[in-house]
Each structure stands twice: as C-alpha cells, then as structure tokens.
Chains A and B, each alone.
Chain A
Amino acid sequence: MAQRGGAQRPSGGGQGKICQFKLVLLGESAVGKSSLVLRFVKGQFHEYQESTIGAAFLTQTVCLDDTTVKFEIWDTAGQERYHSLAPMYYRGAQAAIVVYDITNQDTFGRAKTWVKELQRQASPNIVIALAGNKADLANKRMVEYEEAQTYAEENSLLFMETSAKTAMNVNDIFLAIAKKLPKSDNNARSCWMLQVITFKTGETM
C-alpha cells in the first residue's frame, strides 16, 4: 500500500509531511504571470497565453528533503481594474511572486508598488519573491539585473530573473520560496503528515 512518504515498522521512520501554502502572483499586465505558472505546473509555454480574467487557480507540489510542499497558486489578472480584487487573493497568502518584465521599466515600477502593498496589507510573514521575467529577451533589457537585485536585497525579497519561455529559473524560484517558508509552524495554510505503517500478519500493535 501507500509507501510513499510513509514508514515501515519498526523504525516508524520516514515522513509524509506535507505543507500546504497559498501563493499569489501579482504584477502588471502581460509580464508573464500566467506563463510562469503554466511552466511551473504543466511544463508548458504558450506564446499567446490568453489574458487572465479575474484569477485562475492551480496547484503544484514540490519535494524538499523532508517535506512535500504543496502550492495553491492564485494567478491574478494584471489590468489595473482588477487590482481591487487582488486583496481577495493575497489575503492569507503565505507567499507571493511579484513579476515584472525585464524589457519594460514601467512593469518594474509597478512591481515595486505591489511589494509595498504586500508589505503593508498582506500577512506580515509573507515570503515575497521578485521575478524579472522574459529573461530570454535580454537584448531588449530595460531593467538592469543589479538594479532589481539591490532593490530586492533592500526589501528582503527573494529575487531571480526568470524565463517562462526557456524555463530558466522557473522551478528554482518556486523551490526557493518553498525552502524559505517555515514549515513546522502555523505559517502554513495547513501542515500535515501522512504516515504509513505496515504490519505483517501476526504483528501486534
């Protein structure tokens, strides 16, 4: 039966510790929020990813050494008008990825505003990552890596340049978040453990 993450007697060892976290993606329109999620969750990339209306929900699980982290991902709409719905999605989130497009300075400015809003409004322990997406278009770069990195450091954000198209750093950024999230603690949406114990016939428990 279920041996996965499970333990065999007698050691009782192994653990199916699973932590569930709510993660929200924020950022200006067309910076690649949905594409990052699609790449992370399905390993796909669509050049013409349709615009997100309201928000979309997906999940993906990553395995760390001793824990399975399950992300409940809320991918939000980028247009300003939908901004008024954003608190619905980031409230209670344990993690956020704020995305900008490295070829567009305005989107970086917008990302900063999102970070500010999260720092002010979201839960205080939220882990925020900044993703400079479309890194494959480095020849059209308008936001310098150093500039973003400095900003990220100043605000204690995780930072990576990513490319949903080439998959560069996509899994990494989610993994980095997973690592940074406290997992033994009430910070998670829920943490639970599956333990599988197998008894052979005649064994006593």
Chain B
Amino acid sequence: MDAGLSEDELVARAREERATIASRYRLGREEGAVIDSWEDPELEIYHTTDRYGFIHDGRLPQSRTKEESKQLDLEISRLPKWLKMIKSWDKYWGKEKFIKRVYKGIPDRVRGIVWARLLFLDQMKEEQKGKYEEMRRLGCKWSTDVRQIDLDVNRTYRDHMMFRKRYDVKQQQLFHILVAYSMYNQEVGYCQGMSQIAALLLMYLNEEDAFWALSALMASPKYAMHGFFIPGFPKLLRYQQHHDKILEKFLPKLKKHLERNCIDSGLYTLKWFFQCFLDRVPFPLTLRLWDVFLLEGERLLLAFAYTALKLHRRQIARLDMDQILDYLQKKLEKNFGYEDDYVIESLEKAMEELRKAKLDHPGAPPDHELPQQPFGMFTEPSVEKESGVRRDFTEEERLITERLMKRTETIALNGSHLSVDRGQSPLYSANALRLNLCPSSSPSFFSLASSPHCPSLSCHSSFSPSLRCAGKQNSIAVSHAPSLHHLSPPCHSIIHPSPLSPPPYALACSPPCLTVSPPSSLSSHSSPSLSTPPSPAHTFHAASMLRVPHCSSPFSSPVSPPLCSSPTFYKVSPSSSSKVPPPIGHSVFSFPTPISPFSSSVTASQDVSVVFVLWL
C-alpha cells in the first residue's frame, strides 16, 4: 500500500504499531498513559451543536418516568422467582415456565447470570481452561486486527459510562476480548460489528465470560454468527433471501412497496442480523430481544425482522425511500412506538406464524458458512496479512458480491422513488395527495400508494408526465400539459437540449416540436392526436410546464403509444391547507373533478394553485 516501504519494512512497522497499541491497553490509565485530550471525553461532551453554534447538552430527566418505575417494580417483584430458578437451574431450564419468563424479560440484575447459563459459559471455560489467557497474549503480539480493533474500541459505546474513559478497565477488556477472539477464530478474525456485541456482553459479563459468550455466539450452531462475519458474509445473503420469502408470503404489499422504492432488504437487514438489532431499536427493547435470542437462537433474527416490519407496515407504506430508510435506521431506535411487552408478544405470535408456515428457519447452513479450521490454534500471520497489503477478493467473495448486486439491480429495475408530497405532515389534510412518481429505466406502469382517496394511482414512469388515477374516477389526478407523445417524431430525437436558461424554455426550440392541439380540434376525439401549432393559451402551458427532454435520453426507444395516449387534464382545486406553504419538495393537491382532456378552456372557479411535476 505504501509505495515507499519494502515488505519487510511494512511488516516491521506493523509489528511495532501492534506492540504500541497493545502496550497502551495493558497500561490502561496508569501513570504514563498517553491519552490525547480528544480521546477522553468530558461528561459534558455528549452534545450537539446547532447551526448557529449553540451547544445543546441533551440530558435525561431528573427522575424516572412512570413507565420506568413500573418496569423496575415489576422486575423486582419477579426477582425471587428468578433467583429460585437460577438455584435449581436444571429443574427449570427448557421448561415452559422458564421460557415464558424469559420472554417476559430477564430482570436486569440477574441478566448476566442467566445469559451465562443460556450460553453454557461455565462448561466452555471448564473445557478450555487457560485458553483465553493464551489467546489474549498471542493476539496482542500477532493479531493483524489489532489496529482495526483499536480504532473501533475508541468509538464503541463511548456514550456509555463503562466505555467512556479511554483505556479504562472496560475498554481494556473490550480490546482484549476482541484481540483474543481474532486469534482464536482466525477465519472470522475481527469484523466491524463485533465490537458492539462484545461491548454489550461486557455490560453483563466479566472479561473471560464475555469472550466465551462471543465465541458461543459465533460458533454454536444455535447462533452461528460465524457465517455472518466471515469474508463474503455468506449467511447474510441466505438470511436475506429467507427474509424476502417471509415478506412475500406474509407481507406482500409491503414487499412491493419496498421494492418500488428501490429498497432491497439487504439495505436494512445487515445491521439487524449482524448485531441482533443493536442500535436499531431502543436499548431496553434490544435487551429483551437478546434475552429471546440467547434462548431461541438465530430464528429470532428472522422472526423479529418480520415482526418489526409487520408492526410498522402501515407507517412504512406511507413513506418513500429516504423516509423508509430513515425510519428503519433512526426512528425505530429512538422510539419503537409500541410497549416492549406488546412487541415481544407480537414476536411470539410471529414466531408461531412462521413455524406453522415452516418458514421459521431457513434450514441447515451450507458447509462454507461453518468454521473450517480448529479454534485456538496459533499460526503466524502471512507476510501479506501482516504488512497490511490488501488482498484480492476470493472467488467466493466475488460470487456473493455479484449475487448481492443482482438483487439490488433487479429491484432497481422494478422500482424507483421520488415523492413530491411527503404526505406525513398533519398539515396536509386527508385529501392531500401523495404523489409518488416513479421514473424508471424502462417505461412501465406502477401502481402507487397514495392517499385513501386514490388507492391506486398510477404513474407513467417514462417521459410522459401524465399521471392518471386508476382508482376512483372523481378522486385525483394530475396531468402536466400535453404528454410528450405529441412530440413528433418520437421524443428522443427532436429537441435540442436547451441550456438551463430562464423560462419560458421549451417553445424556444425549433422546429416547433411541441404542438398542442387547439381545443376545438379535440372535441370530437377521444384521444388527442395533434399537430397544429399551439395557440397562445397553450403556449403558456407548454412553456411553463414542459421542460424539454434531452437528446441523449435514457429512453432510447420511443415511448410506447398505449402508455402515452389520452393524457388527461383535471381541474384542480386548492387544497384546504393551501395557506401553509409546504416544505420544499412537497406539494399539496386535491382534485375533485376530472375534466375532459384539452377542454377548450378551464376557468378557475376559485383561486387555485396547480403543481406540475415534470420529468426532465
């Protein structure tokens, strides 16, 4: 990578760097520790600065909320039962009562103990005494992942008291667990995403237990996260496909909606599956999910992915691409919108549903997802690996990438996204139409989600800017002046790409390519077919609404006539919220009465604003 250095020098440099990093963690915060001031946050540092430069310090309320107190009381009341169960573990473990109680949530005070039991940590430790120590020692010396781990420890849950101070005890432990594991399981090594998992484990377990917990999560067939984290992420693809299958069967409408918005499940499931919903749902709910995850294993991932979408399907159906991704990435983490107990009940139901449909589990993993090498064997890293020279992709990685891209592409072909009206704001009344316009690489029809007034608005996806309402007649539609099929010969060859000069644009081009029929010639035709030069009134239309397509249009073939025929003009009336200017990119429509195409004149019976959308 670094042109100036020889391989030997690179290796030597890497070793030195490793030694320095490891020694820093060994030293911790003892005297002599080198800690840059920025590395050690003040408590006050968790703030945001607004655009004017004011610092805002987000603080928690001084006292617990009612719900929190209630939850706490509940946990305390459950504690005796749990202590009893822990005492006679073998009697309860796996029994219905026990399972039910896990679903109700393990009280936080005994969570660590129960997690350790669920993962059989004592057994693992017993079987491999001294192994952790050995791996930690070897890892600090040899693991080529030390550098990446160091970078990530420095930014893992720094907003958590445990990990706040640089090189403090829990940071030391986090570093050591990850380094040791990268040595213990060299196929996985260290992959971004593991640091948060390890940190979560460290919140409830001691260092060595957390190491073995991580190991169990990776290698135990019950969790088998190994397949997620190895190069190429083979399990991810398999799980995504299975997730798609579940959606296809149980949430087909939502699936279509997602696809229409170019959202491949790969975009949101990666973090869900890799980290079992860490940082994607509020932390208390994450813990509840982890309780169930540790009890039930990997099937939870699929079941909860389904549950989350199912619970929010109505909201999601109203959103477009940006919003959906924001919703799944951010909003759900801030506020899941349902009480935890309700969520877990829904999860249970979903699991049952999936079980009945035999979709609760994608089946046994193929061999290449499983560990191929024995754990805990020391091998010196190759020079290539040590020097940090990037290797080429393996054949398998390439294959998987190809497959992933194919999926995305298929989806991109079938959908696209752009919405004019954000449709969310309460400012827009019910008859505000959410226009979801879909430009696509191929001309085709889309049936679109829209307001209840127009359940199936369709939109022509290519040049033709006409939008038609395929639903109720009198509901809604918008049209933008004549459809481009009036251009003749077909659109792609006629118009000079006029520079972005101030309007009016289109009619400036020659030959007079935009020809709008005068109203009279239309009266007898059901479908307009015209070539007469525009009358002044229509000149206005064309000029103000049509932006000419570019010569080198992506649509090299002429727009197919059936899709372009009979553009419809609708009379529009002002939306009730017209006094409120919608935010940029938003528009409000309401279209009570359809009017015939190219009616000779439309007189505004009241003040009206029309928003036209035109693809360029």
- A: residues with CB less than 8 A from B are 1-7, 9-15, 17-20, 29-30, 42-45, 47-59, 61, 66-68, 70, 72, 77-85, 87-88, 91-92, 105-106, 109-110, 113, 183-186, 190-205
Q: Within the complex, which residue of A6, A191, A196, A203 is in contact with B603, where a contact is CB–CB below 8 Å?
A: A203
Q: A3-B581, A57-B329 are in contact. List 10 more A-B contacts (CB 8 A).
A: A5-B584, A51-B193, A53-B274, A66-B500, A68-B584, A84-B400, A85-B233, A88-B408, A92-B412, A197-B609
A134 CB to nearest chain B CB (Å): 11
Q: Is the CB of A87 within 8 A of B503?
A: no
Q: Within the complex, which residue of B158, B233, B412, B547 is in contact with A17, where a contact is CB–CB below 8 Å?
A: B547
B270 an interface residue at 8 Å Cβ cutoff? yes
Contacts of A183 in B (CB 8 A): 500
Q: Closest chain B residue to A57 by CB distance?
A: B325
Q: Is the CB of B416 within 8 A of A205?
A: no
B606 an interface residue at 8 Å Cβ cutoff? yes
Q: Is the CB of B388 within 8 A of A84?
A: no
Known: A1-B578, A2-B611, A7-B544. A186 touches B553 (CB 8 A): yes
**Chain B interface residue bracket vs A:** 35 or more
B550 an interface residue at 8 Å Cβ cutoff? yes
Q: Closest chain A residue to B325 by CB distance?
A: A57
Known: A4-B584, A51-B195. A84 touches B500 (CB 8 A): no
A200 to B609, CA, bound (A): 9
A71 CB to nearest chain B CB (Å): 11
A190 to B416, CA, bound (A): 9
Q: Is the CB of A198 within 8 A of B607?
A: yes
B97 CB to nearest chain A CB (Å): 37
A123 CB to nearest chain B CB (Å): 12
A8 to B515, CA, bound (A): 23
B340 an interface residue at 8 Å Cβ cutoff? no
A77 CB to nearest chain B CB (Å): 6
B426 CB to nearest chain A CB (Å): 17
Q: Is the CB of B1 within 8 A of A47?
A: no
Q: Is the CB of B192 within 8 A of A53?
A: yes
B497 an interface residue at 8 Å Cβ cutoff? yes
B191 an interface residue at 8 Å Cβ cutoff? yes
Contacts of A201 in B (CB 8 A): 604-607
A147 to B445, CA, bound (A): 51
Contacts of B574 in A (CB 8 A): 1
Across chains A and B, the number of contacting residue pairs, with CB separation under 8 Å, is 244
- B: residues with CB less than 8 A from A are 1-3, 38, 41, 45, 48-51, 148, 151-152, 154-159, 191-193, 195-196, 231-233, 266-267, 270-271, 274-275, 279, 321-322, 325-326, 329, 388, 390, 393, 397-398, 400-401, 404-405, 408-409, 412, 416, 418, 420, 437, 439, 480, 497, 499-500, 502-504, 537, 540-541, 543-545, 547, 550, 552-554, 574-575, 578, 581-588, 601-616
Contacts of B500 in A (CB 8 A): 17, 66-67, 183-184
Q: Within the complex, which residue of B195, B326, B393, B544 is in contact with A84, where a contact is CB–CB below 8 Å?
A: B393
- Complex A-B: 10 CB contacts under 8 Å: A52-B192, A53-B275, A82-B192, A88-B405, A184-B500, A186-B554, A196-B587, A196-B611, A197-B544, A205-B602
A2 to B611, CA, bound (A): 8
Q: Within the complex, which residue of A29, A184, A190, A195 is in contact with B148, where a contact is CB–CB below 8 Å?
A: A29
Q: Within the complex, which residue of B48, B154, B537, B578 is in contact with A205, where a contact is CB–CB below 8 Å?
A: B537
Contacts of A57 in B (CB 8 A): 267, 322, 325-326, 329
A10 to B547, CA, bound (A): 17
Contacts of A197 in B (CB 8 A): 544-545, 609-610, 612
A193 to B547, CA, bound (A): 8
Q: Closest chain B residue to A12 by CB distance?
A: B544
Contacts of A82 in B (CB 8 A): 192
A72 to B275, CA, bound (A): 25
The 6 closest A-B pairs by CB, nearest first: A12-B544, A1-B609, A54-B270, A48-B158, A191-B616, A199-B604
**Which among A5, A45, A53 has the greatest number of chain B C-beta atoms within 10 A?**
A53
Binding site secondary structure of chain B:
loop
A105 to B543, CA, bound (A): 54
Q: Within the complex, which residue of B41, B195, B233, B543 is in contact with A47, where a contact is CB–CB below 8 Å?
A: B41
A148 to B161, CA, bound (A): 40
Contacts of A53 in B (CB 8 A): 192-193, 270-271, 274-275
A164 to B2, CA, bound (A): 25
Q: Closest chain A residue to B437 by CB distance?
A: A192
Q: Is the CB of A30 within 8 A of B151?
A: yes
Contacts of B397 in A (CB 8 A): 84
Q: Within the complex, which residue of B270, B390, B606 is in contact with A113, where a contact is CB–CB below 8 Å?
A: B390
Q: Is the CB of A87 within 8 A of B439?
A: no
Contacts of B154 in A (CB 8 A): 48
Q: Is the CB of A191 within 8 A of B270?
A: no
A77 to B275, CA, bound (A): 15
Q: Is the CB of B601 within 8 A of A204?
A: yes
Q: Is the CB of B607 within 8 A of A191?
A: no
A124 CB to nearest chain B CB (Å): 13
Contacts of B603 in A (CB 8 A): 202-205
Q: Within the complex, which residue of A9, A106, A185, A190 is in contact with B2, where a contact is CB–CB below 8 Å?
A: A106
Contacts of B609 in A (CB 8 A): 1-2, 6, 196-199
Known: A57-B329, A81-B231, A199-B607. A192 touches B616 (CB 8 A): yes
Contacts of A4 in B (CB 8 A): 581-584
B315 CB to nearest chain A CB (Å): 18
Known: A44-B48, A193-B614. A50 touches B575 (CB 8 A): no
Contacts of A109 in B (CB 8 A): 1-3
A88 to B553, CA, bound (A): 25
A33 CB to nearest chain B CB (Å): 13
Contacts of B606 in A (CB 8 A): 201
Known: A2-B586, A59-B322. A110 touches B1 (CB 8 A): yes
Q: Is the CB of A191 within 8 A of B45?
A: no
A57 to B323, CA, bound (A): 10
Q: Is the CB of A11 within 8 A of B503?
A: yes
Contacts of B388 in A (CB 8 A): 106
Known: A85-B401, A197-B612. A18 touches B322 (CB 8 A): no
A72 to B545, CA, bound (A): 26
A51 to B275, CA, bound (A): 13
Contacts of B480 in A (CB 8 A): 195
Known: A53-B271, A88-B405, A202-B603. A14 touches B503 (CB 8 A): yes
